Amino acid sequence: MLTGTNKISNILLIYTGGTIGMIEDEQSKSYLPFSVESVLRFVPRLSELDLSLSVVSFDKPLDSAHVGLNEWLKIKNLVCDNYQDYDGFVILHGTDTMAFSASAVSFLLQGLNKPVIFTGSQLPISKVRSDAHENLVTAIEIAISQKNGKPNVPEVAVFFDKNLYRAVRSTKDNAESFDAFSSPNYPVLATAGVNIKFNEAFITPFSKKGISPLMHIEKNVVVLKLFPGIDDRFIKQNVSAPWVKGIVLETFGTGTVNLSADSIEVLKTAINNGVLIYAVSQCKIGSVEIGKYKSSSVLKEIGVLSGSDITSEAALVKLMVVLGNYSDNKEIENLLISNWIGELTEV
């Protein structure tokens, strides 16, 4: 435990793995995970912050490529189990799937009114030029920041390279730059420079309602990305599998599709059999507007649901969460097309 002088805030640091906590093997030159205690050794001045910092780590730190549904539930449970004892939470996570994990935890932690800040780095903290130090310190600062005794950011967010993003609006769009994340259709929640400037108008207001977490995730969901020349057999194979309960359909532009009459019939049959099809755009910026063009009106006719300007990452995990926790199809449909926790702009 690291303790500052005033101990204003209690923060729980949850270490899942990722580049931030890796060290280069001298022989293979590949990155290998090491302990969270080793990570904190590289940031000795954390003790100067006004906080009490506790740490919990996954038994086996994971590359984010291997973080999935079970780990999302584990993170959710760690937050819930420790919710009353801490003022905020910082999650150290690999960057490649951080937007998926952060979005999933957002949907699972219904009623959240404390900060849960995901962060990581493009280079290991042991590297001289690493971005890990600033990302970690600033994420913790955001987690402890308050105004009038209430947290400045009572929601799940991603902090990376000076910007704080709403988790369900975030996406990783750069594998090379320290500025690896963006929020294509929603303003940043805060910007860190000499001072941290909070964009209060776009942050979820504090609520006294209290946390009411969801418990399950449905895994039988697929993503179907359209492409020029897509074959009817490919559509049928992905849509008609008996185990499929939900499909995120990545359309062109504002919802246009290149589906044949046979493929449309396959989608229609699936929907009639209870499969939910949720349309999003392959474009980072903008929104699906089913029916705006003739080539998208057919989706509206057969009952495909519009995801508006939701990210593909948030669409997938939202579909998984609503299918896992609700049974009434009409209620599920209403949740999918509605702005539940700030993940989309309602038309």
Active-site residue list: 19
Report the C-alpha gap between 84 and 294 in whole angstroms. 53
Q: What is the pairing mode between strands 146-147 and 150-151?
A: antiparallel
Residue 9: in which H helix or E strand, if any?
Answer: strand 9-17
The 10 Å CB-count burial string (b at 16+, else e) for 169-208 is bbbbeeeeebebbbbebbebbbebeeebebeeeebbebee
Identify which of 47, 20, 39, 16 has the alpha carbon closest to the alpha carbon of residue 31: 20
**Contact of 61 with 17, CB cutoff 8 Å:** yes
Strand ranges for 79-220 from DSSP E: 88-92, 116-119, 146-147, 150-151, 156-160, 163-166, 171-172, 181-182, 190-192, 196-198
**Contact of 321 with 214, CB cutoff 8 Å:** yes
Helices (H), ranges, 192-288: 232-239, 261-272
CA dihedral 299, 302, 305, 308 (to 10 degrees): 20
Which DSSP letter does residue 83 get?
Answer: G
222: left (phi over 0), alpha (psi -120 to 50) or beta: beta
